[in-house]
């Protein structure tokens, strides 16, 4: 009997456990040296100038749009095929969420669909774009940057699925997710189903010193000891604006550091697994396509099938817990009432009717994967 196979799973080893227990008996449980160390290592890893650790990616998205000065009634475009948090951050700032469609082959936000939506409105109508590196496939941010510059928009890259992913730009240069060359701010998640598990946690990266300063202030109540208007003594600080407590702890950061050190190894294994799926499904089942020069970090492996619900139930009967990513956000009751979906979203809706995410995580064994493949293929052939 095979044990249950989830669609994703964290990978914790003795090094992780040792790092956390050492931090638990050190001087700082939070606001200590591990946070800074994690930020520096993460910034280095993605090739960005600055990184800001936060309590989770949702909090990170919230202060990202605030640092970019999003205000009530201002409009932002995102994809319907993502986790709700990608859109919710706009609502936290009382902004409007507008949806554009996905590309039917890569499943990421289509730059053509976004362009069409922007050009159907007067200049200045939109403020920003939140593209998502869906399933681990990096969006081509060079194309989005060009469009954003033409229309004076900011970009927040939701890179929660893609630490270590990259695309190749028009000059043949590799551009890693979150490197700050095209997006103002990128956001990563350390929820256990993502690549780097901290329990809860997130990271923001940017190349702008100004945004970095805003983000660190917003993360800690808006309180600072720097650039103060006066100074009454060593204890003195100023609260310069309304911020939040969105900090990551030291023991979570310690875990993040050891997890990050293994990320490349995990990505290699994820891509081995993806290649094995592709080999088995070739000419039989559609899966997310990979643009030339791109490296998919493979948070997920998504296939498209006709009888999706039947396959989902059939796999469950065999203790394979495949998942659906995602129910299009514009069809969720909250957004159905208040979202804006003038754009043609038919590719997103068609995708949703067919998509299913198969098990994908570094510790998935070859034997388990063969079992999954056998079940999926036998279902399709039936
Ligand atoms: C997981 C996820 C988030 C939210 O991350 P948390 O750390 O759980 O807040 C946001 N966007 C996407 C695309 C995600 O997958």
pLDDT in tens, the chain (382 residues): 679 999 999 999 999 999 999 999 999 999 999 999 999 999 999 999 999 999 999 999 999 999 999 999 999 999 999 999 999 999 999 999 999 999 999 999 999 999 999 999 999 999 999 999 999 999 999 999 999 999 999 999 999 999 999 999 999 999 999 999 999 999 999 999 999 999 999 999 999 999 999 999 999 999 999 999 999 999 999 999 999 999 999 999 999 999 999 999 999 999 999 999 999 999 999 999 999 999 999 999 999 999 999 999 999 999 999 999 999 999 999 999 987 888 999 999 999 999 999 999 999 999 999 999 999 999 999 8
Domains delineated in the chain: 5-381 (3.40.640.10)
Q: Write down the pLDDT at residue 1.
A: 64
**Helical segments of the chain, H only:** 14-24, 33-46, 57-67, 85-92, 111-119, 141-150, 209-219, 250-261, 263-281, 308-317, 333-338, 346-354, 366-381
- pTM check: above 0.95: yes
Which of 78, 156, 157, 160 has most ligand 1 atoms within 8 Å of its beta carbon, as the pocket-test mutant?
Answer: 160
Q: Does residue 266 have its Cβ closer than 6 Å to ligand 1? A: no
Q: Write down the pLDDT at residue 258.
A: 98
Q: Does residue 347 have its Cβ closer than 6 Å to ligand 1? A: no
User: Rounded to the nearest whole angstrom, what is the distance from the C-alpha of residue 377 to the centroid of ligand 1?
Assistant: 31
Q: Write down the pLDDT at residue 341.
A: 81
Q: What's the CA gap between 382 and 380, in Å, rounded?
A: 6
Three-class DSSP category at 158: strand
Strands 202-206 and 50-54: antiparallel
User: Rounded to the nearest whole angstrom, what is the distance from the C-alpha of residue 274 to the centroid of ligand 1?
Assistant: 22
Q: Write down the pLDDT at residue 382.
A: 85
Q: Does residue 161 have its Cβ closer than 6 Å to ligand 1? A: yes
């Amino acid at each position: 009997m095979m044990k249950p196979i989830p669609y994703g799973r964290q990978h914790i080893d003795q090094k992780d456990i040792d790092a956390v227990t050492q931090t638990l008996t050190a001087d700082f449980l939070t606001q200590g040296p591990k946070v800074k160390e994690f930020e520096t290592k993460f910034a280095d890893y993605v090739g960005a100038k600055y990184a800001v650790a936060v309590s989770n990616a949702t909090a990170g998205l919230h202060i990202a749009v605030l640092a970019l000065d999003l205000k009530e009634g201002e409009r932002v475009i995102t994809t319907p095929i993502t986790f709700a948090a990608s859109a919710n951050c706009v609502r936290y700032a009382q902004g409007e969420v507008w949806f554009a469609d996905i590309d039917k082959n890569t499943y990421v936000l289509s730059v053509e669909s976004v362009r069409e939506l922007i050009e159907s409105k007067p200049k200045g109508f939109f403020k920003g774009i939140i593209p998502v590196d869906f399933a681990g496939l990096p969006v081509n941010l060079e194309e989005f940057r060009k469009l954003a510059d033409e229309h004076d928009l900011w970009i927040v890259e939701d890179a929660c699925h893609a630490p270590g992913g990259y695309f190749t730009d028009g000059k043949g240069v590799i551009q890693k997710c979150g490197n700050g060359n095209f997006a103002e701010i990128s956001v990563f998640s350390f929820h256990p189903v993502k690549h780097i598990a901290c329990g809860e946690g997130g990271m923001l990266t940017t190349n702008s010193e100004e945004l970095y300063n805003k983000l660190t202030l917003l993360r800690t109540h808006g309180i600072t000891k720097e650039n103060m208007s006066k100074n009454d003594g060593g204890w003195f600080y100023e609260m310069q604006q309304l911020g939040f407590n969105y900090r990551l702890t030291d023991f979570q950061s310690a875990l993040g550091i050891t997890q990050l050190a293994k990320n490349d190894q995990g990505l290699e294994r994820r891509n081995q697994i993806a290649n094995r799926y592709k080999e088995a499904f070739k000419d039989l089942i559609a899966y997310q396509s990979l643009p030339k020069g791109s490296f998919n970090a493979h948070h997920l492996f998504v296939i498209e099938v006709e009888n999706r619900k039947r396959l989902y139930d059939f796999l469950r009967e065999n203790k394979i817990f495949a998942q659906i990513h995602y129910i299009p956000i514009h069809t969720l009751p909250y957004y159905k009432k208040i979202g804006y979906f003038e754009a043609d979203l038919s590719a997103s809706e068609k995708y949703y009717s067919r998509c299913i995410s198969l098990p994908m995580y570094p510790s998935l064994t070859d034997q388990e994967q063969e079992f999954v493949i056998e079940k999926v293929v036998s279902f399709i052939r039936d």
